[in-house]
Structure 1
Amino acid sequence: MAKNNQQLPLPLYNEIKELNESLFNEEGAWETPDYIKQNMVHTFRYYQDAALRFFHYSQASREFSFRNVNHVLFNMATGSGKTDLMAGLILYLYQEHAYQNFLFLVNTTGVINKTIDNLTNEASDKYLYTPEIEIEGERVEIKRVSSFPKTQSRNTIYIKLATVQSIASDIYTQKENAMGEEDYARHKTAVLGDEAHHYSSSTKKEKESEQSWEKAIATILNARNDNRLLEFTATIDLENKKIYDKYKDKVLYRYTLDRFIQDKYSKNVKRIQSSNTDVDNMMNVILLSEYRRRYALEEHNTYIKPVIMFKSQRIDASNEAHDKFIELIDGLTLESFKYFLNRQSQITSENDSETLRIAHEYYRSNEDRLSEIIRDMKREFANRRIINANDTNQSGLLEKGHYEALNSLESPKNLYRVIFAVAKLTEGWDVLNLFDIVRLSDDSKVKGTKATTMSEAQLIGRGARYYPFSLNRKNSYTRRFDDDGKDSLILETIHYHTINEPQYLKNLLSALDEMNLPTGEDKRNPPIEVKVKNSFKRTDVWKYGKIYYNETVEVSDDYYDSLDKYGIDTKRDVVIPYISTLKEVGYRDDKVQEDYSNAYNVPIPYDQRYLRKVMDRLSFYHFDHLKKYIPLLNTRKEFLGENWLNIYNRTIYVTIPRTMESSVLTANEKLNILERYFMDVAKQIRAGYSKQRGTGKFIGYPIKDYISNYRKRVPNYDTSRYVENKPQKVDRYEIKEDYFVYDSAIINLTEKQLIDRIAERVSELHEEYSSVYLIRMDESMHRESAKNNKLKLHQFGGGHDEVNLAGFQPDFILYLKNKDYFIQIFIEPKGRNIEGEQWKEDLLTYINEHEAEIIFEDETEEVKIKGVKFYTMNDGRGTIREIGKIALGKEFKGLSF
């Protein structure tokens, strides 16, 4: 989906969005019903809840009571769980609107077989409902049917699954037992159209044979006034005027791919571009796939079964590749394996795949186990574990059991590791443990037209769905590791192995970019090693010196008996600045600037409706969530009372410009003002709740044990505009001067400027201190060692304007020592989001103002712990001046900035 599509007006979608925000929407407190939550295997994500709520508004809100909203479209990203949403909508329409007949409409037989498992096969691991569906004490049965019965049983949902081609044929051809228009007029029917972009052929004036599809669907929809058509697609071409005209009043909800990726519901995507032969590419992907499995088991004690898909342009080429693969595995020996590894090492270059380098290195370092590894490979990739998904006729029939196998690849009972396919699995195929897609070269001259590469980009998008593997006995449905780190590359990345053909790659990148799918070439992007200088290791500071951080203590749930403990003022009135909803801002602006030079405060009148609406809109205030952070809370009503938020005994004011009359504040604006206050309270509660809190006791940690060499990568993307709004570029800078303890630093421009400005003052500091060292406390360093998690600074004492118990690691320590005492100054550079992290700066300055609260475990030498304000570009906060005053008791000489 191109981003500019988002700018086209979509009246129905916009109207329902406004209704969702309206205080006076009578359905405004509506949430996903318990009968859906309790009867479905998966819990809805926030956007699925919103999509269901938007549909409910279209069917139940007073605003739509005189309009028959019978045709809607959900435009939701590939992999975002549209089938889960469909399953929930079926229960909703059955319970709320008495629908029993559901026609599930698709374009291919493959999607039907997958959906049979999703919606009707209780024995399948993919079944989306609980084994027994119960609503209001009644058992509800789901029956798969070929036609809807004339007499319908109570407590029964009938689902007919069919291709659009067969439905059109039934309607326009008189056949025995076929469903015609009158059958869809007998009882009201809801049609669920998956991959709906296929159903607008006549709108686009495509080939005549397909024109009846769209008309057939319209015939079913129009057979009764209360028939419903719910369409679902990730790819709708709204730039096509005819498509836009058809759907502009039907798009009900949107959840785009770039949002899906930003929410971390996907794997990362990397391309491995190669000019190797197909056989060499096969061997490399075998090594990588098997390494993924072994890495998960050996490093994280978890089992995954990574699946490989070999994608061809032609069926005969795919079948030929299948034969080559079998021959490769059958002929794999210890000698051929070593020969391949050695040859790969000889032909590698700086631009080769980093992930393959990691995999190859694993096998080279396990030479004594290679015989065992090869036996495992021959078992894991044997012919009985390969599916050839290429059908040779229009019936779409695969070998018996293959459809079931394709749709249960995540099951521990399913042993298949490899799939060969042409086009069969482009749509409707859901497999989370697909980690490698290999685009075979083919001997034909088909090098990837725009249509072909768009299809491949969509396949990559499907494969990018996140695989929720177990880690420390916990499953996550979002990414857990830093991009481009080893864990991420191996366990959270899908690799697309491409042919190295310029026009094909150009078209592929264009297709990926059009989808807003961020990818990067998996070039050699080795973690850069940062070393502690040998000259520093020869010093007494290295041998005997310490760095200090404060100790934490356990906190019981009983401690959190009021919002005061979270740092929230519940006594004083609340004042919130007004922000105009019509203010024009740049798309990168973090906040809206209003002119408050002549402003005044006015109270906001509100009642229970406002509070209920705000708490319903913000998922944090749903009771099960709120209870996680306030363990002693009994009800949401109690939260608003005097023992907690005390909202009824305080006044909420809004600061508005003098030029504005308070009477013009609309109900929605008042609601938005209250919502901003509740969002701020939620942020404070999250930050203020922790199982540990800091104390004034500082512990000295030996420098030689905690300051060590480390390695760091910088992620790189070459597609998707969503990553454009990123922080400053990070580079490696070599620093030869002795004052810096590492040989280099991987830093941004703000951090580089800080280092340079301190370098200018080293000689002056040496007049007072024999030891002057700047230590970079890089996050990569303490990620690699569990013990370095101790090296965090935590709030202690009381009186903090914003409570945040999480603790943080200031980026730099300036270490100063003379014969009388030692000073440790924490320094944190900031290039952005200063307001969001103000508590960190407050903690750094709190240290200076509350020295009396600090005690030291080791009192053999006099220690002073200090902090300074954030260092910002060009030292806008006077940080260097502050360092001079702390270290020398005066400003640095000749300070001109």
Structure 2
Amino acid sequence: MAKAKKIPANARQFPLVDQAEQAENDLFSQHQSYEIPEYINGNLIHTLRAYQDKAIRNYHYTQTEIKPNPQHVLFNMATGSGKTDLMAGLILYLYQEHGYRNFLFTVNTNSVLMKTKDNLVNENSEKYLFQDKIEIDGKHIFIKQVERFPRIQQDNTIYIKLSSVQKVSDDLFVLKENTMGLSDYENQPVAVLADEAHHYSASTKSEKEAEKTWESAINKILHARDDKEQKNLLLEFTATVDFDKEVIYNKYRDKVVYRYPLNQFMFDGYSKQVKRIETSASDQDKMLNAVLLSQFRKYCAYAEGVTGTFKPVIMFKSATVKISLEANKVFNELIQNLNVTDLLAFIKRQQVLDSNDSSALSLAYDFYLKNEDQLGKIIREIKHDFDSRNVLNANDDKRGNMLEKGQYQALNTLENPNNLYRVVFAVAKLTEGWDVLNLYDIVRIEKEAGTNKSATMVEAQLIGRGARYYPFEIEGHKSYQRRFDNDLTNKQLFLETLHYHTMNEPQYLKQLVGSLKQMDLPTGEDKKNPPIEIKVKSSFKKTEAYKKGKIYYNEVVDVEDEWFDSIDKYGINHQTDISRNLNYGSREVSYQANAGVTETKTISVDRFDARYIKKAIQRLEFYQFDNLKKYIPLMPSMKEFIYGKNWLNANELNLFLTVPKDYKSTDVTPDDILNVVIELLKEYEVKFKSGYVKQRGTNKFIGYPINEYLTNYNKRVPKYDTANLFNEAMQKIDVYEIDDDFYVYEKAIVNKLEYELIERVKAHVNELKEKYQKSVYLLRMDENMHRESAKSEKLKLHQYGSRRNRSGEVTETHLQGFQPDFILFLENSDFYFQIFIEIKGMSGDRFISELWKQDLLLYMTDNQAEMEFEANEQNVRICGLKFYTKNDGQHTMEQLANLVQIKNQ
């Protein structure tokens, strides 16, 4: 009998994920209108990211649209993607929407347990994820850590028990006093949050149901209330699930509720880039290389304008505790004995070895050699920063406990300005639970290090954890996503890259690369990667289009405070008749369970008056007069803001609510009305803030000479040798030679989707040339053309006009301009045609967040008459297209064909 073909993990189907995805795209689905409740983000320190929002949306879908509601689900999310933030949000969601008060957090290691204690229950910790005061519906909610859920429970209280899975299992199977036995899980509903859940499938992996495994213990808890109306829940979280194994896939096939793989996490920019420095240097030489690179990284950060403390950390990874302690001793002696003569000799020796192939190390060596007269001072700084007091040996004993007191706190506060540690020596750190952000170098100590698949998989997991992004601050601004991927000044290389220093041994590297591919973890060797010069074709430079042609962008003007004289100037479409949905979910659980909420009706709220507006304003800090005045400079008083016809116009408002069909108007409580008004004013708050901008786009378009702004420029090609599925996700960038004269550059360094667009335009070139005899050119407007130049600000589009999209909805104001990716330049004897084209390879929430750009492009196309030009430029037409997406999913080329009046192919 033929052996069944192995199905790769990426090809597996997960019904819950698929159903939730379908519901997101179904215009008639109740789920599509669901919004993450404000009390979640309002009570968390960190605003949930788009993918975390989607995880909660998917879970909400399973608990409202699928019958029976799944008790057991799995969130399969990348290392570093913020699973604990998601847990905190889900705790609030389950408490408020489904009435769960008891939460058991369990994991297999004490280090993760300690970290999570700081995250969820330790209000004094810098890592605490909740706001100081948790408030839902005006009620103060308390979180209490317990060892046993109390029989009599206090109102407005969430109880959290944190325990290792070993202890949970022991307590369940070995009866002892003051521990939680099975009856405790039968008495009251419990939601179990099981972290690093791949450890709980021991019996599944062995394909036998042992009586007292961790897996068995968790399952007993899960099913302890199956005969009750409110059942126990199990929410599992892990980055690592071996779906390649049939038995694991079968267990989780119908339980996976959300997937956010590592490759997507890195593509979305929430991680550092990862580069490998492969060298034949000794362990001691690798140590010094890492120190020189780390210190140079620090100097670069401050030279690039990073403010606050920037402290890049190095981790030295050893095979055993004994070797780690030995390496620690060698390192301390190395720093203590460092001097100018030896350092110069070391650098010159490294320059003739393979270390010089590293782009990062080569730049660091050049820096130290150019500053030879300052080496004495630099070495003193190195000795100070890397003094033995700033070195942490954080190894675990066999039970997972730190060897010395205080090391846990030090290890988990490395980003703190008061934490001076620059180096960590460890064996088993970073495998699970460590969420340090400012780790920039990992050095593999070779002594006794394994080279088999098991060892390289541990290394790959280590790299994945170390790649978490560090939100350093530049010019007062923090970003939690990469911002310098295409930067030519090496900001990306030194501020947004993790370097893994490893050995240069072919067989081992083959194994490591295989492990990195298996994890879909994109890395590349840190080799010198000089930028490629992208030249304007000499043939194009000879054309009239180049010599006399112009590219058009709209002007911006300063906005005086007097302009902000009404609510509509902030992009708020405030009508006297306000229609809102009533948030009845938390009070109508039984109704939803029995009949669903597919049928609704709209009712008028007779009891609504200005008192609700005033009460809501009292509850919202933003609407305090002194704060509101910052955004509404013309507002004379709160009374005018509340009652003025140009503002909230409270006496004239009518409120209409969408409610279930069986609802009576008397079912709507004053709290319901107040909550609706609060949510409305919160939405207005966002628009007041985004709408108060000091510069705005105008309908006047200025022509800039093509020959001044279309220039040669340099760009690097990112190189990844472990990118697997990631290649498709990230739209891999490559170099393409384009001989056809319609493309004005000799080469195109573009991603696959951008090249697809070029090919689509190319297919129409002959038709276009028949209609536009003078010029048919495609211009790639790369952000690298005028980097660090004032010119780049001129070549941007800005919102103007009434800011309404094609559906007639008022769109939000966006201060920043943007540069569309391409301009199609057409010209005949009658007029000049400029068409902006923007590429979008993203989907979901990221795509939606960019739609304001598409609205602007389409607004230009639909409102040609509004545009103004210089007196001698009346034959100009400027248009924009819908975003171009994969395989022309939005029929952008059909729109183009209609605009330029050619046939669409």
TM-score (norm 2): 0.69
Q: Separation in 1 of the partners of 2:529 and 2:132?
A: 48
Query: Take 2:186 and 2:760, find their aligned partners in 1: how far apart are those partners?
Result: 74
Aligned counterparts of 1:48 and 1:135: Cα–Cα separation in 2: 20
- Between the aligned partners of 1:167 and 1:201, the Cα distance in structure 2 is 16
* SS of aligned partner of 1:74: strand
Deviation at 1:431, TM superposition (A): 1.4
Paired residue type of 2:348: N
Please say if 1:527 is aligned against 2:512: no
- 1:289-300 pair list within 5 angstroms: 289-300=294-305
2:259 to 241, 254, 259: 254
> What is the aligned partner in structure 1 of residue 9 from structure 2?
5
Cα deviation, residue 549, structure 1:
6.5
Contact in 2 for aligned 1:304/1:469 (Cα 8 Å): yes
Contact 1:20 1:54 in 2 (8 A): no
Q: Which residue of 2 aligns with 1:712?
A: 715
2:840 and 2:59 map into 1 onto residues whose CA distance is 39
Q: Secondary structure at the match of 1:552?
A: strand
Change (3 A) 1:689 1:338: same
Percent sequence identity is: 47
Q: In structure 2, do the counterparts of structure 1 residues 511 and 560 end up closer, same or farther at CA, with 3 Å as the change threshold? A: farther
Which is worse superposed, 355-364 or 470-479?
355-364
Match of 2:366 in 1: 361
Query: How far apart are the structure 2 equivalents of 1:249 and 1:134?
Result: 35
Q: Residue 397 and residue 841 in structure 1: after superposition, are their counterparts in 2 closer, same or farther (change >3 A)?
A: closer
- Shifted more, 166-175 versus 432-441: the winner is 166-175
Query: 1:318-359: CA deviations, max 9, x gaps?
Result: 222212211221112222222222223333588x22222233
Provide the rounded CA distance (Å) in 2 between the counterparts of 1:12 and 1:809: 37
Please say if residues 107 and 198 of structure 1, whose CA atoms lie closer than 8 Å, have aligned partners that are also in contact. yes
Task: Quickly say closer, same or farther: Cα 1:702–1:745, change in 2 above 3 A.
Answer: closer
Separation in structure 2 between the aligned mates of residue 14 and residue 697 of structure 1, nearest angstrom: 46
The SS at the match of 1:147 is coil
C-alpha distance in 1 between matches for 2:716 and 2:834: 25
Which residue pairs with 2:660 in the alignment?
none
Partner residue, 1:455: 458
1:696/1:796 contact within 8 Å kept: no
Residue 442 (structure 2) pairs with residue 427 (structure 1): no
1:90 and 2:84 equivalent? no
2:869 aligns to what?
A: 854
Displacement, 1:34?
Answer: 3.4
Given that 1:201 and 1:210 are in contact with CA atoms closer than 8 Å, whether structure 2 keeps it comes out as no
**1:339 counterpart = 2:342:** no
Instruction: Name which of 54, 61, 68 aligns with 2:58.
Output: 54
In the TM superposition, 1:335-414 aligns within 5 A as 335-347=341-353, 352-394=357-399, 396-414=401-419
Counterpart contact for 1:318–1:420, Cα < 8 Å: yes
777-786 or 274-283, which deviates more: 777-786
2: distance between equivalents of 1:385 and 1:190?
A: 41
Alignment deviations for residues 366-394 of structure 1 (CA, whole Å, 9 cap, x no partner): 33433332222222222122221222443
Instruction: State how far apart, in whole Å, the 1-side matches of 2:877 and 2:97 are.
Output: 63
Change in CA separation of 1:697 and 1:172 when aligned onto 2, cut-off 3 Å: closer
Structure 2, unmatched stretches of 5+, are 1-5, 573-598, 603-619, 624-630, 636-640, 649-689, 764-773, 842-846, 885-892, 901-905
| Residues 311 and 422 in structure 2, CA contact (< 8 A), matched pair in contact too | yes
The secondary structure found in structure 1 opposite 2:202 is coil
Aligned to 1:42: 46
Aligned equivalent of 2:36: 32
Instruction: Using the TM superposition, give the Cα deviation of residue 6 of structure 1 relative to its aligned residue in structure 2, in angstroms.
Output: 4.4
Runs (5+) with no aligned partner, structure 1: 567-605, 610-623, 640-686, 758-767, 817-822, 884-897
Alignment check: 8 A CA contact 1:109 1:396 kept: yes
The root-mean-square deviation of aligned C-alpha atoms, in Å, is: 6.1
The answer to whether 1:507 aligns with 2:511 is yes
Mapped contact 1:516–1:722 kept (Cα < 8 A): yes
Mean Cα deviation higher: 687-696 or 394-403? 687-696
- Provide Cα deviations, 1:690-742, integer angstroms capped at 9, x if missing partner: 943255464767978x787753212122223232367696448799x9xx999
Distance 2:311 2:435 in 1: 15
Distance change (3 Å), C-alpha of 1:209 and 1:219: closer
d(CA) in 1 for partners of 2:839, 2:172: 64
Q: Give the whole-Å Cα distance in 2 for the aligned partners of 1:867 and 1:328.
A: 65
State the alpha-carbon separation in 2 of the partners of residues 395 and 794 from structure 1. Answer: 56
Note the C-alpha offset of 1:801.
11
For the 8 Å contact 2:718–2:733, the answer to whether it is kept is: no
Partners of 2:822 and 2:838 within 8 A in 1: no
Residue of structure 2 equivalent to 1:579? none
The one-letter amino acid paired with 1:411 is N
The question of whether the paired residues in 2 share the 8 Å contact of 1:117 and 1:124 is answered with yes
Q: State how 1:304-323 maps to structure 2 within 5 Å.
A: 304-323=310-329
Q: Which moved more, 1:315-324 or 1:554-563?
A: 554-563
User: Which letter does structure 2 place at the counterpart of 1:251?
Assistant: V
Pairing 1:472–2:475 present: yes
Is 2:236 the partner of 1:231? yes
Correspondence for 1:492 among 484, 491, 496:
496
Q: Distance in 1 between matches of 2:877 and 2:130?
A: 58
Q: Distance in 2 between matches of 1:542 and 1:479?
A: 35
Give the 3 Å change call, closer, same or farther, for CA 215–808 of structure 1 in structure 2. Answer: closer
Q: Map Cα deviations across residues 615-674 of structure 1 (whole Å, 9 max, x no partner).
A: xxxxxxxxx9xx9xx99999xxx99xxxxxxxxxxxxxxxxxxxxxxxxxxxxxxxxxxx
TM superposition shift of 1:525: 0.6
1:516 aligns with 2:516: no
Distance 2:111 2:840 in 1: 48
Q: Using the alignment, how far apart are the partners of 2:158 and 2:56 within structure 1? A: 19
- Following the alignment from structure 1 to structure 2, what is the Cα–Cα distance between the partners of residues 150 and 565? 52
- Measure how far apart 1:152 and its partner are: 3.7
- In structure 2, what is the Cα distance between the partners aligned to 1:385 and 1:178? 41
Q: Which 10-residue stretch deviates more, 393-402 or 694-703?
A: 694-703
SS of residue matched to 2:528: coil
* 1:250-294 deviation per Cα after TM superposition (whole angstroms, max 9, x unaligned): 222222223323322222222222221112222222122222222
Alpha carbons 1:72, 1:251 under 8 Å: kept: yes
Q: CA deviation at 1:230?
A: 1.6
Given that 2:440 and 2:499 are in contact with CA atoms closer than 8 Å, whether structure 1 keeps it comes out as yes
- Give the Cα–Cα distance (whole angstroms) in 1 for the partners of residues 422 and 360 of structure 2: 19
Residues 24-73 of structure 1: CA distance to partner in whole angstroms, max 9, x if unpaired? 76677544333333322111223323333433444455833xx6x33222
Q: 1:495 corresponds to which letter in structure 2?
A: H
* Aligned-partner Cα distance in 2 for 1:799–1:101: 48
Question: Which amino acid in structure 1 is aligned with residue 325 of structure 2?
Answer: N
Corresponding residue for residue 217 of structure 2: 216
**Partner in structure 2 of residue 591 of structure 1:** none
The separation in 2 between residues aligned to 1:382 and 1:205, in whole angstroms, is 49
The residue identity in structure 2 corresponding to 1:480 is R
In structure 1, what is the Cα distance between the partners aligned to 2:165 and 2:758?
61
Q: How does 1:438-837 map to 2 (within 5 A)?
A: 438-443=443-448, 446-447=450-451, 449-483=452-486, 485=488, 486-528=490-532, 551-554=555-558, 691-694=695-698, 696=700, 698=702, 710-718=713-721, 719-724=723-728, 730-731=734-735, 778-792=782-796, 806=817, 808=819
Contact 1:77 1:260 in 2 (8 A): yes
In the alignment, the residues of structure 2 paired with residue 18 and residue 866 of structure 1 have an alpha-carbon distance, to the nearest angstrom, of: 40
Q: How far 1:544 moved relative to its partner? A: 14
Paired with 1:562 and 1:271, the residues of 2 have a C-alpha distance of 53
Number of aligned residues: 775
Q: Is the 8 A contact 1:203 1:242 kept in 2?
A: yes
Q: Which amino acid aligns with 2:458?
A: S
Quote the Cα distance in structure 1 between the aligned partners of 2:185 and 2:58: 26
Q: Please tell me whether the aligned partners of residues 355 and 361 of structure 2 are also in contact (alpha carbons under 8 angstroms).
A: no
Distance 1:461 1:275 in 2: 23
- The equivalent of 1:765 in structure 2 is none
Give 2:652's aligned residue.
none
In the superposition, relative to structure 1, how do residues 104 and 564 fare at CA in structure 2: closer, same or farther (>3 Å)? closer
Name the SS for the 1:782 alignment partner.
Answer: coil
**Aligned residue type for 1:781:** M
Q: Which one-letter code corresponds to 1:234 in the other structure?
A: A
180 and 547 in structure 1: CA distance in 2 versus 1, 3 angstrom threshold: closer
Q: Using structure 1 for the length normalisation, give the TM-score.
A: 0.70
Structure 2 residue matching 1:400: 3-state secondary structure = coil
